[in-house]
Structure 1
Amino acid sequence: MTGDRLTIEVSRLTKRYGDVTAVRDLSFTVEPGVVTGFLGPNGAGKTTTMRMMTGLVSPTSGTATIGGQRYDRLASPSRTVGAVFDTNAFHPGHSARDHLRVYAAMGGYPDSRITELLDLLGLAEAADRRTRGFSTGMRQRLNLATALLGDPRVLLLDEPGNGLDPEGLSWLRGLLRRLADQGRTVLISSHVLSEIQQLVDDVVVIRHGELVATGPWSRLAGPPAVLITSPDADVLAVALATSPASGGTASSVEAVGPGRLRVRGLDAPSIADLAAAHRLRVHELVTENPSLEQLFLHLTTGKAATR
Structure 2
Amino acid sequence: MASVTATDDRPAIEVSHLTKRYGTVTAVRDLTFTVEPGVVTGFLGPNGAGKTTTMRMLTGLVTPTSGTATIAGRPYGQLRNPSRTVGAVFDASAFHPGHTARDHLRVYAAMGGYPDSRADDLLSLLGLTEAADRRTGTFSTGMRQRLNLATALLGDPRVLLLDEPSNGLDPEGMLWLRGFLRRLAGEGRTVLVSSHVLSEIQQLVDDVVVIRRGELVAAGPWSRLAGPPAVLVLSPDADRLAAVLRGSRPDGDPPRVDATGDGRLRVHGLDAAGVADLAAAHQVPVHELVTETTSLEQLFLHLTTERTAS
TM bucket, shorter chain? over 0.9
Which residue of 1 is the match for residue 285 of structure 2?
Answer: 281
Residue in 2 aligned with 1:189?
194
4+ residue segments displaced more than 6 Å: none
> Within 2, Cα distance between the matches of 1:187 and 1:149?
18
**How far off is 1:291 after superposition?**
1.2
Task: Find 2:121's aligned residue among 116, 119, 122.
Answer: 116
Kindly tell me: are residues 200 and 245 of structure 1, through their superposed partners in 2, closer, same or farther at Cα, counting changes over 3 Å? Answer: farther
* 1:297 aligned onto 2:289: no
Tell me how large the CA RMSD over aligned residues is: 1.6
Tell me how far 1:246 sits from its aligned partner. 10
1:98 match: 103
Seen in structure 2, the aligned counterparts of structure 1 residues 215 and 141 have a Cα distance that, compared at 3 Å, is same
- Secondary structure (helix, strand or coil) at the match of 2:294 reads coil
Q: Does 1:9 align with 2:14?
A: yes
- 1:301 is displaced (CA, Å) by 1.4
Q: Tell me the equivalent position of 1:30.
A: 35
- Which residue number corresponds to residue 142 of structure 2? 137
Is the counterpart of residue 51 in structure 1 residue 56 in structure 2? Answer: yes
Task: Work out the CA distance in 1 between the residues paired with 2:171 and 2:191.
Answer: 21
Instruction: Answer whether contact 2:11 2:72 (CA < 8 A) is retained.
Output: yes
Q: Contact 1:227–1:261 (CA<8 Å) still a contact in 2?
A: yes
**Could you tell me which amino acid in structure 2 is paired with residue 139 of structure 1?**
R
Q: Which residue of 1 aligns with 2:247?
A: 242
Work out whether 1:255 is the aligned partner of 2:259. yes
Q: 1:76 to 1:274 in 2, by over 3 A?
A: same
CA distance in 2, matches of 1:293, 1:238: 33
- Counterpart in the other structure of 2:3: none
Q: What's the secondary structure of 2:29's corresponding residue?
A: strand
Alignment partners' CA distance in 2, 1:59 and 1:160: 25
1:234 and 1:150 map into 2 onto residues whose CA distance is: 64
Take 1:132 and 1:234, find their aligned partners in 2: how far apart are those partners? 65
CA distance in 2, matches of 1:3, 1:106: 22
1:42 matched residue in structure 2 = 47
Q: CA deviation at 1:31?
A: 0.2
Deviations along 1:106-149, one digit per CA (max 9) or x if unpaired, are 00111111111001111111111111111110000000000000
Number of residue pairs matched by the alignment: 303
> Following superposition of structure 1 onto structure 2, how do residues 67-82 of structure 1 map, counting pairs within 5 Å?
67-82=72-87
Deviations 1:237-268 (A, max 9, x none): 22212320894446x21222311111111111
Please report the TM-score for the alignment, with normalisation by the length of structure 1.
Answer: 0.95
Partner SS for 1:164: coil
What secondary structure, in the 3-state scheme, does the structure 2 residue paired with 1:86 have?
coil
Q: Is the 8 A contact 2:16 2:67 kept in 1?
A: yes
Amino acid at match of 2:105: L
User: In structure 2, do the counterparts of structure 1 residues 242 and 248 end up closer, same or farther at CA, with 3 Å as the change threshold?
Assistant: farther
Supply the AA of the counterpart residue of 1:154. Answer: V
Give, in whole Å, the separation in 2 of the partners of 1:8 and 1:127: 33
Q: 1:66 aligns with which of 38, 63, 71?
A: 71
Establish whether residue 268 from structure 1 lines up as the match of residue 241 from structure 2. no
Q: In the alignment, residue 23 of structure 1 is paired with which amino acid?
A: V
Q: Cα deviation per residue 1:19-40 (whole Å; 9 max; x = unaligned)?
A: 1111000000000011100011
| TM-score of the two chains, using structure 2 as the length reference | 0.95
Distance (Å, rounded) in 1 between the aligned partners of 2:58 and 2:258: 43
Give CA deviations for 1:30-61 in whole Å, capped at 9, x if unaligned.
00011100011111110000000001111110
Superposed displacement of residue 303, structure 1:
8.0
The runs of 5 or more residues in structure 2 that have no matched partner are 1-5
Alpha-carbon distance in structure 2 between the residues aligned to 1:242 and 1:74: 61
Q: Check conservation: 1:242, 1:248, Cα contact below 8 A.
A: no
